[in-house]
A and B are shown apart, each in its own frame.
Chain A
């Protein structure tokens, strides 16, 4: 096996092994180094692909054709029939932890000082099956985030005690209010409408007041996508 052949095999399938390749690697320090680098790169590629991309494209969303709408409607039957049972069976003991980890992954969300535009809020709510009656001047951050297999609205609202994160979790069901404290953050998850709402803030603050307000302000649409 030549170096070119070895590198083709390594580059195409870094974790694959063959007797010929192993024999070549034993005798070739340069290809061994290449192999190690490729294994590291491949682990990074795997990590990079674990989350879907958040693509910003400067173009208006295309209008859906009729056949697509029909397909969506039909697909919804599948979703309605099975989705609820699947997610009800999902263990929820890590939910609070995952909310904390998610917010820690977006530290800039609490630094925003200007209110989010109505377009940003609409984009954050898109596909989540909810509407919001909260006035936009209290919302300083609005994103649609990939969380536990779904896109969910991730908002930051300004309260008298500072910013509070609100995540509207249509697919997460909790039987009763749960509070949690982790890494200097306090939070509550409350049942709401078709799912639940998580509120998280640094330090203390009256999170239940925020939760109560959100329970009123979030309107759960009957047929989410």
Chain B
């Protein structure tokens, strides 16, 4: 079990980093999450479900920390990706622009997008996790991509009405 958890650490760290936009905070979140997961390891019945289970714990740990330390988080305007040393093997300007844009998405849009794209969660799973209606999740995902679309120079689609909290 420990080996399985540890093998997923890079995935968890990347996920936490995109959520928190802070490497040190992401490392703390992952450490705390692994600790919590280890204490609750009996709840994990299927090793195949470990990744999704751990990602959920990381998301909740981030949310918990975000709520508690909201005032200590780095303000949005101070956040920028280090352009001097891009980390992708073959970086291009568009991809770097897109990475900046994702970083600057408000958490309410960035979180479902990262859960969907990196975590592989379905709309229903995201809705359950974020206590939102499926419609609200779809709306947020649409808006997230629509904002990125505009930043990438494409014509954004017409806005859609808000979805609501899950009943």
Contact = CB atoms under 8 A, between A and B. Distances in A.
Q: Decide whether A and B assemble into one complex.
A: yes
Interface in A101-141: 101-102, 104-106, 108-109, 127
Given A37-B149, A45-B148, A105-B88, A55 B28 contact: no
Interface residues on A, range: 35 or more
A175 interface: no
A45 B98 contact: yes
A82 B141 CA distance: 37
Given A78-B5, A106-B86, A57 B31 contact: no
Contacts of B63: none
Nearest to B37: A78
A105 B78 contact: no
A176 interface: no
A37 B74 CA distance: 33
Contacts of A58: 78
Interface stretch (A5-13, A157-165, A188-196): A5-13
A151 B24 CA distance: 12
B158 interface: yes
Interface residues of B, number: 66
B120 to A, nearest CB: 11
Contacts of B78: 57-59
Interface string A1-28: 0001001110111100000000000000
5 closest cross-chain pairs (CB), A and B: A149-B10, A11-B142, A52-B17, A82-B6, A75-B31
15 contacts: A7-B142, A12-B138, A12-B139, A44-B94, A45-B102, A51-B88, A52-B26, A54-B85, A54-B87, A55-B81, A56-B82, A57-B79, A68-B28, A75-B31, A81-B2
Interface of B: 2-3, 5-7, 9-10, 13-14, 17-18, 21-28, 31-32, 34-35, 38, 72, 74, 78-82, 84-91, 94-95, 98-99, 102-103, 113-114, 116-118, 123, 137-139, 141-143, 145-146, 148-149, 152, 154, 157-158, 160
